[in-house]
Amino acid sequence: MDSKDNTGLVFNQLSYTRQLGDRLTVFVGHQGTPGSLLYTNACAYGGQTDVLDDCGIRTSNLDEELGASFGASFDIYDGLTAAFGYEGEGGETTHGLMSKEATDAFGAQIAYTGDNYGVAFAFASIENHDASAGNGIDADRGVTTSSALSAYYSPDLENFPSVSVGFESTHDDSAAADDDRTSNYFVGLQWDEIGNGSLGASFGSKAPEPENQDPEKMYEVFYAYNYADGITITPIVFVKENASATVNDETGIFLKTSFNF
């Protein structure tokens, strides 16, 4: 085999989860396992694009791909849960996780789910880092904090869609005073029994929106058609707004095929 041939088995994520007693669940992870692995997903919308598939919660979801992670969730009572998570990147030249030189991210969530609805509040504190440089901590040692609220409601009524919403606010303590806050929002509708598939439509922030700049939105519509056992075909249409007067809005159409074995 050629020495430059990197063909081989690659793990995308690696984690171990264990339940301790009736109410406590813990996990440890590596290779990009999110610290929010045990969080409750308070969203009924099955987003198809990278921008809208997180239901407007970009930072508080604690998915920084920092390398090592661990966390726990606790079933408090009858649908009420609490969870926390950690992600860290020690790096080759640092002194390990949670050291001064390491990049650390902490988060927590409290959520409640009923028979056909759910709501969750999440918080995260993430040291600023450069993903293109091995997730090393920024020289200014700034920290971005975020808080988010997400919710969904699935009415038990024929031909009525589920409704999912999300809102997130962030603050970067190393940024200038007039550029230190951003926000995201999201609204999505989904009909799960339209013909032989699901129909969804949503809109939200294309990117975190600074307070003093024109917002840019994104829209998407999809239909996930169950073509055969284990095969789903999904046509998707999206529109991305661009606030710049010199850049046109973007419109795209693509087809996704999913196989489950």
| Average pLDDT estimate for 62-87 | 94
Taking the C-alpha atoms of residue 152 and residue 150, their distance in angstroms, rounded to an integer, is: 7
pLDDT at position 94, please? 53
pTM assigned to the model: 0.85
| Average pLDDT estimate for 51-75 | 92
| Average pLDDT estimate for 234-238 | 95
Taking the C-alpha atoms of residue 218 and residue 211, their distance in angstroms, rounded to an integer, is: 18
Residue 218 burial class via C-beta count within 10 angstroms: exposed 0-12, middle 13-18, buried 19 and up? buried
Q: Please check the confidence at residue 1 and state whether its pLDDT lies above 50.
A: no
What domains are there in the chain, each with its CATH number?
Answer: 14-130+142-214 (2.40.160.10)
| Average pLDDT estimate for 220-243 | 91
Q: Between 255 and 248, whose confidence is greater?
A: 255
Q: What pLDDT digit, counting tens, does each position of 137-190 carry?
A: 777 778 999 999 999 999 998 889 999 999 999 999 888 777 789 999 999 999
| Average pLDDT estimate for 252-258 | 91
pLDDT at position 230, please? 85
pLDDT at position 3, please? 45
Which residues have a Cβ under 8 Å from the Cβ of 120 and sit 6 or more positions away?
Answer: 39, 40, 41, 42, 109, 110, 111, 112, 149, 150, 151
246 is written with which tokens? 């010199």
Work out the percent of the chain whose per-residue pLDDT is above 70.
Answer: 91
